Amino acid sequence: MIGQPRRVELDVQISPAEALRCLRGDSLPFAFVGAWADGEAILGSQPVGIAGSREDPFALLDRRPMIDATPVAEDPHHMIVGGGWFGFLGYGLGRLADAATPPQPPACVPLPLHHLAFYDHVLRRDSDGRWWFEMLWTPHRAAALADRERALRARLSKPPAAQPASAGAWSWSPSLDEHARAVASIIGQINAGDLYQANLALRLEGRVEGDPLDLFCAANAALPTDRGAYVSGDFGSVVSLSPELFLSRRGDTVRSAPIKGTRPCDSDAAGQQATRDALAGSVKDRAENTMIVDLVRNDLGRVCEPGTVRVASLCEVHEHAGVWHMVSEIEGTLSPVVGDGDLLRATFPPGSVTGAPKLAAMAAIAKLEPAAREAYTGAIGFASPVWGAEWSVAIRTLEVSADGHAWIGVGGAVVADSSPEDEAREAVTKVAPVLGALGAPLSEPIAAIAAVPAGLDAVGA
């Protein structure tokens, strides 16, 4: 059945957090808050379809619903989202994208490889701060959508109060010293000519008390990011404060904005400028970034029209989520025979969280990291038959199982001149603002990290 994109403006003045709390109790609520789809927020609940856990999500995303392309009578720069597939794609789907991808170690608390649900209506706050009820209207769903609009108007007029939620009791897995030893092993493999770069991660494990929905609302308000996201399901919840764009497709234009290079943001203006300048002038960080730019160019070159892939910006320094980051942007023109699923299949997992060469880096990661990555370093986002598609890199992301077990992955790129101790400290730098936003900083100061000789074989250490 052909859907038609429609939208109705809602006369409400509330925050995305207040709007999300209005969806509590519905089936599979989600919220994307930040710069998603050139607006400020996309929220939804009550999907009309859920992808099966054994279904190929890449093939699913290539089966685009039929849409009446009649233009919506609004300014063209406010093109609607309407609905589509929303959710996450876990890092482990790399094996589905490329059978040569090495297997991961076992997961501590297994989550599904992906979670995608199809929504034929969403709440959207545009870049002007206006709220809309957007839909993919069909005659079959006309009455249900009208009822849904009325119900949401009533709820949004009286948003409920926040409920208490907390996260904490954090412990490192592995320890920071053990992570430094693993970094040293990666440096040894680079010196041996096996790799150029690998993004090695560790994790903080803890617990969440209360509803992760409230935790996301509080954390996103405390540390706004371009790609904030909350996704829920039977498995539990994902709370993401990612600053990084993995892929955006609008029409036949595709963009990626990998991040490589991090410095803390000091509290005083002089300190901020100094750390920003240090990152901008860092030869090591520029080398990390340009390696991944080349990898992303190669990945996009597999699915874009020949000669169209270009670097739009290189190694620019921006403030994101409490730290300075070095960001580049690559774009290209997608081949007309390539759908969203094939685009993801050609580029997944994101190059900025794997390394170069990608498969060799992933093999090294699998041997040294003690547990499987799940949503972390995969992608969170949506594919809309109207707007296009947009996916974040799932970093700065809290994963919560249905019983409250919680974990946050954090890592960094290791290159030939990396320092094992500095890489361990960088992990703390990256995760500290996220823990602060969650209201759950580490309970003990970070102890000194033992010096580790570069090239040490840390496997089994």
**DSSP secondary structure string, 137-194?**
E-GGGHHHHHHHHHHHHHHHHSPPPP---EEEEEEEES-HHHHHHHHHHHHHHHHTTS
Tell me whether residue 260 is one of the annotated catalytic residues. yes
**The token pair that represents 106 in the structure block:** 């076992």
Q: Which fold has domain 4-157?
A: Anthranilate synthase (3.60.120)
Residue 200 CA to residue 216 CA, distance in Å, equals 26
Residue 200 CA to residue 367 CA, distance in Å, equals 11
Tell me whether residue 205 is one of the annotated catalytic residues. no
Residue-wise pLDDT tens for the chain (461 aa)?
568 999 999 999 999 999 999 999 999 999 999 999 999 999 999 999 999 999 999 999 998 766 665 555 454 445 799 999 999 999 999 999 888 898 999 998 889 999 999 999 999 999 999 999 999 999 999 999 999 999 999 999 999 999 999 998 899 999 999 999 999 999 999 999 999 999 999 999 999 999 999 999 999 999 999 999 999 999 999 999 999 999 999 999 999 999 998 888 866 666 778 888 899 999 989 999 999 999 999 999 999 999 999 999 999 999 877 788 999 999 999 999 999 999 999 999 999 999 999 999 999 999 999 999 999 999 999 999 999 999 999 999 999 999 999 999 999 999 999 999 999 998 998 899 999 999 987 755 454 565 655 444 433 32
- Beta carbons within 8 Å of 277's beta carbon, 6+ residues apart: none
Q: Of 134, 178, 244, 374, which is the active-site residue? A: 244
Q: Of 40, 134, 178, 260, which is the active-site residue? A: 260
What's this model's pTM, rounded to 2 decimal places?
A: 0.94
pLDDT of residue 303: 98
Q: CATH number of the domain at 167-205+243-379+403-437, out of 3.60.120.10, 3.40.50.720, 1.10.3720.10, 3.30.450.20?
A: 3.60.120.10
Q: Boundaries of CATH 3.60.120.10 in the chain?
A: 4-157, 167-205+243-379+403-437
pLDDT of residue 460: 31
